[in-house]
Structure formats: C-alpha cells, structure tokens
Structure 1
Amino acid sequence: EQDEALAGQEQVFERELSQITAAIARIDDGTYGECANCGDEISPQRLAVQPEAPLCMACAS
C-alpha cells in the first residue's frame, strides 16, 4: 500500500514540476501571465495563488 501511495505522490510531483518548468519557460519567452488559451491576462490574484497557472479563470473553468 505504501508503495502505491508513494508512486501516486511521485506522479503528482512530476506533474507539478512539469507545470513549474512550463511557467519558467513562459517567463523566459515573455508570455507569463498571458492565458495560453485565449491570450487574455491572467489575474494577479490567480497567479498569487497558483503562480504556474497557464490559463485565466474563464478558460480554466
């Protein structure tokens, strides 16, 4: 059971790392804070809570 739980945690960590890496790439290319779907600005409040967010609230829901 513990092995399965650890494997699940590893998948979560890998997904989070991937999201953080993608956010860093958006910072590097100047598109951080811009919705990857519609191009609108991602609100500063959303980025404060989830800095790696690639989508604005409208597109995320």
Structure 2
Amino acid sequence: MSLDLPRTETRTAHPAADEVRQRLEHARTTRLAQLKALDETGQSPGDHLMSNQKDAIKRVLKEIDEAFTRVDDGTYGTCLGCSKAVPPERLEILPHTRYCVACQGRS
C-alpha cells in the first residue's frame, strides 16, 4: 500500500467506526507530513537522529495501518495483551494503540 494514499476504501454502517477511521486518518496524515518535512530537510551522512526519527514515524504509520485492519475485523479497541477493552480516553489520544496502559508498560 502506498503511504500517501488515504485509507478510506472500506466503510462500515457503524458511526463509531467512521469516527475511529477519521481519527486514524488524521494521525496518518500528520505522520506523513512529518516524514515529508524530514525528507525535504535533507539528511547528511551519519545523521542518526534524523534517521531514527524517520524510522519511528514509519513504525507509527505501520501501527496506524494495523489499527485500520483491527477496525475492519472488529477487534479495534481490544488490548492485545489482556483482551480487555482499551479505555476510550486512551484511544482518543492514541488511536492506533494496541494495548491498555498496564499492558503497554509490560511490553
């Protein structure tokens, strides 16, 4: 999948899923803009900080794509560690999270 295309092809009849998709798309768009800005800045050989920033953004983009998959298969909002619901407040702040706070601390 191309990183610069929005993930809007699958829609559900569930309004909450549409809201989640909007939050995920916003997070994705933001990260893509950050990645583009870093690319436009240029990178000097041996610039490990910028390389690490790019890697971190790419990891988050992968997590966002995985969150879209969880929305599609109905498992979004369920902690992958303990199988309990991730609090809505956490999902609002970090819509691509896979874990509740307790399980995130253990991983």
SS of match in other structure, 1:45: helix
Is residue 58 from structure 1 mapped to residue 102 from structure 2 by the alignment?
yes
Letter of the 2:93 counterpart: V
- Consecutive unaligned residues of structure 1, counting only runs of 5 or more, are none
TM-score, normalised relative to structure 1? 0.86
- Deviation of 1:58 after TM superposition, in Å, equals 1.6
Give the structure 2 partner of residue 46 of structure 1.
90
The structure that has the greater radius of gyration is: 2
CA RMSD of aligned residues (A): 1.6
Give the structure 1 partner of residue 79 of structure 2.
35
RCO higher in 1 or 2 (8 Å CA, sep ≥ 6)? 1
Structure 1 residue ranges (4+ consecutive) displaced by more than 6 angstroms after TM superposition: none
Letter of the 2:55 counterpart: Q
TM-score, normalised relative to structure 2? 0.52
